[in-house]
Amino acid sequence: MARVLREDTDHYAALITAEMGKPITEAHAEIEKCAMTCEYYAEHAPEQLADRPVASNATESAVVYDPLGVAVTLTGSTEVGAIVAAQAAALKKQVLELGGSDPFVVLADADIEAAAATAVRARYVNVGQSCVNAKRFIVEEAVADAFVAAFTTAAAELKVGDPTDPETAIGPMARSNLRDTLHDQVRRTVDAGAHLLLGGEIPDGPGCYYPPTVLDHARPGMAAFDEETFGPVAAITRVADTDEAIALANRTEYGLGAALWTGDLDRARRLTRLLETGAVFVNGMVASDPRLPFGGIKKSGYGRELGAEGIREFVNTKTVWIGPAT
Specify the pLDDT at position 242. Answer: 98
- Does 38 participate in catalysis according to the annotation? no
- Model confidence band, residue 119 (pLDDT cutoffs 50, 70, 90): very high
Pick from 56, 68, 70, 135: nearest CA to 99: 135
CATH number at residue 181: 3.40.309.10
Same domain, 255 and 297: no
Q: What's the domain range around 49?
A: 2-98+291-312
Specify the pLDDT at position 66. Answer: 83
Same domain, 219 and 246: yes
Find the catalytic residue in 26, 38, 97, 208: 97
Same domain, 110 and 172: yes
Q: Is residue 326 part of a domain?
A: no
- Model confidence band, residue 201 (pLDDT cutoffs 50, 70, 90): very high
Same domain, 213 and 256: yes
Find the catalytic residue in 131, 227, 228, 305: 131
Same domain, 93 and 107: no
Checking if the pLDDT of 191 tops 90, the result is: yes
Mean pLDDT of 143-166: 98
Please count the structural domains in the chain: 2
- Model confidence band, residue 141 (pLDDT cutoffs 50, 70, 90): very high
Checking if the pLDDT of 117 tops 80, the result is: yes
- Annotate 242-274 with b (16+ C-beta within 10 A) or e (fewer): beebbebbebbebbbbbbbbbeeeeebeebeee
- Model confidence band, residue 12 (pLDDT cutoffs 50, 70, 90): very high
Specify the pLDDT at position 249. Answer: 99
Same domain, 94 and 224: no
Same domain, 213 and 172: yes
Same domain, 81 and 176: no
Same domain, 29 and 48: yes
pLDDT > 90 fraction of the chain, expressed in percent and rounded: 83
- Does 131 participate in catalysis according to the annotation? yes
Same domain, 261 and 112: yes
Q: Is residue 318 part of a domain?
A: no
Specify the pLDDT at position 57. Answer: 73
Q: Is residue 58 part of a domain?
A: yes
Same domain, 142 and 226: yes
Same domain, 48 and 169: no
Q: Is residue 320 part of a domain?
A: no
